[in-house]
Chain A
């Protein structure tokens, strides 16, 4: 299957700082990528849709100024958590659909804000 690479796999940052997470499609082009958030023992919740060459679209209740998304190329989307606080600690995971809409996921990023 297709490969999606996400980095870093885990990060610890101080409260008030910003953290950037990268999501790359390695063997296919993705005009659209998706960012999810998962709290312990819960399901994945879609945060936003990243669109190459245009603005991201955010799900209801997700602060776009806090979670900045950039889709600079057909293979790279980034999520920046700005002014992180302990409540932003979570597991963030990206996905990219192939042409037939089958989605492949990155390895995920475990963010801890201290």
Chain B
């Protein structure tokens, strides 16, 4: 099956700093999503981005499908950005079945 690798596994930032989270995948996809898992476990949809670039406030994401990677940018980080960020993909022909990366644990310190 498709492999999804996220890096770095852990990230510690000072409040106000910028960061880039990376997601590599091993096969062609027709869906890629970024999620933020809050302390209660809920997955918050950040971006649905099988290709191209999107922005939402301080967050933006870019997926280069031909090169099989996606990047999530966080600017002017805040302590509330702390948590686990997951990248998940649906490989072509996988019938909406999401495969998750291992996640990136972000800690933003005041």
Contact = CB atoms under 8 A, between A and B. Distances in A.
A108 B39 CA distance: 12
B102 A43 contact: yes
Interface string A9-47: 000000000000000000000001010001000111110
Interface stretch (B17-25, B40-48, B73-81): B40-48
A95 B98 CA distance: 10
- Output the residue of B43, B45, B97, B103 with the most chain A CB within 10 A: B43
B69 interface: no
A43 B45 contact: no
B41 A103 contact: no
| Interface SS majority for chain A | strand
A97 B31 CA distance: 11
Contact of B45 (A1, A34, A101, A110): A1
A108 B97 contact: no
Interface of B: 30-31, 33, 35, 40-43, 45, 48, 86, 88, 90, 95-103
